A and B are shown apart, each in its own frame.
Chain A
Amino acid sequence: MSTLPQLYEEDIHRLDDALREFIQRSDATTAMVIDKGGFLITHQGDSNSFDLTTMAALASGAYLANQTIANLVNEANFDSVYQQGETHSMLVTNIDEFCLLQVIFRAQVGVGAVKYHAGPAREAIADQLQLAQQRDPEGGLDLSVLNCADPSEFFKRKE
């Protein structure tokens, strides 16, 4: 199974550029690139008001649940999840096989504008992820300094 590519600093900068431009154009509050497994990859906008890590995990679950429903009704085009709220709204939309764009925006901002400006952002992000995938699909990280013989130090219980 191919997976999300390992990302260099340059990749993240490109993704951040795309998110910044998207936020500027759409007037969104926060935009995140998340992995469909639930990881937050990168984000731009307001990160202090929200727990982005948990939001990413929940959004990927909600999106994938909708995909499963789509399969059950033989629908191929459930490619986004939208929730309108009283203060904030949320849009989660597909980027590629592995990633999603999650957007939080004020309820006064029209979802149409957010969807419209999300298009180019999704393309730019997908292109960069594809570049990263082609560069090194089997990338890993050298953790050879780690002493894995003693696992007791990884997570410590309170005394």
Chain B
Amino acid sequence: MAIINAATKELQLKIVYYGPGMGGKTTNLAKVHENMQPNSNSKAKLTSLATGSDRTLFFDFLPVEAMTIKGFKTKFQLYTVPGQVIYNATRQLVLRGVDGIVFVADSQYEKMGENVESFKNMKDNLKTLKLDIANIPYVLQYNKRDLPNVAPVEYMEYLLNSGPVQVPAFQGCAHKCEGVFETLNMLTRLLLGKYINKNAPQYA
């Protein structure tokens, strides 16, 4: 969960990119890393724990700084999880302390089953951590919209976003950086919105 450090005037938040294998989670992080306007003194470093064939083994990690609010720097730590089914224990570890989630779905028709399974797996893993998806800000990204065999957005909405609360969803082509910043910024908005209008500042 978010850490507010009054000594260093920092608000730290953890965002996890979740979704089926080969859906574009790592590409999202890589594009944020490549294309973000530098905001602070040095460029953030993207760390990937991947296999020899560039499949995420443990996680990718990108620390970024967004803005200063009331003198507090807002620092975000972006993580991806490994999408492959066998790495579920690792996904649970990465979800620990999560503040917000970007669910990256693969728009190809034949991937719909994996999308649904991964979304259910995310909810199950949150439950294991005693977290409820209803209390965690999340957004959807329908990635790979440039491929020829994509499912209609309405169908993906029906599969992934037809619960009691509809969350923001974006179409994306992560490898062209389309939809990447829109998705991240919307989640940031939802996340920071959680902290607005709380009564007392927590610093002495």
Contact = CB atoms under 8 A, between A and B. Distances in A.
Interface of A: 1, 3-4, 6-13, 35-39, 41-42, 51, 53-54, 57-58, 61, 64-65, 68, 136, 139-146, 148, 151-158
B69 A146 contact: yes
A19 to B, nearest CB: 13
B59 A61 contact: yes
Contacts of B192: 143, 146, 148, 154
B195 A143 contact: yes
Given A61-B93, A155-B64, A12 B77 contact: no
B202 interface: yes
A6 B130 CA distance: 20
Given A154-B188, A155-B36, 8 more contacts: A37-B1, A38-B79, A41-B3, A58-B47, A61-B49, A140-B198, A143-B70, A144-B196
Q: Which of A10, A58, A155 has the most CB of B within 10 A?
A: A155
Nearest to A135: B202
B4 interface: yes
B149 interface: no
Contact of A8 (B129, B184, B204): B204
A111 B11 CA distance: 34
Q: Which of B6, B45, B64 has the most CB of A within 10 A?
A: B6
Contacts of A41: 3, 5
B contacts with A: majority SS = mixed
B195 A6 contact: no
Contacts, number: 161
Given A36-B97, A37-B97, A145-B70, A154 B185 contact: yes
B58 A7 contact: no
B37 interface: yes
In the A-B complex, list the 5 residue pairs whose CB atoms are closest, starting with the nearest.
A37-B97, A12-B7, A151-B189, A140-B198, A3-B1
Contact of A39 (B12, B35, B49, B89): B12
B17 to A, nearest CB: 14
B27 to A, nearest CB: 15
26 contacts: A1-B129, A7-B5, A7-B7, A12-B5, A37-B1, A38-B79, A39-B12, A39-B97, A61-B58, A65-B93, A139-B200, A140-B4, A141-B4, A142-B200, A142-B201, A143-B198, A145-B70, A146-B69, A148-B189, A148-B192, A148-B193, A151-B185, A154-B188, A155-B32, A155-B185, A158-B36
B59 A157 contact: no
A157 B35 contact: yes
Contacts of B12: 39
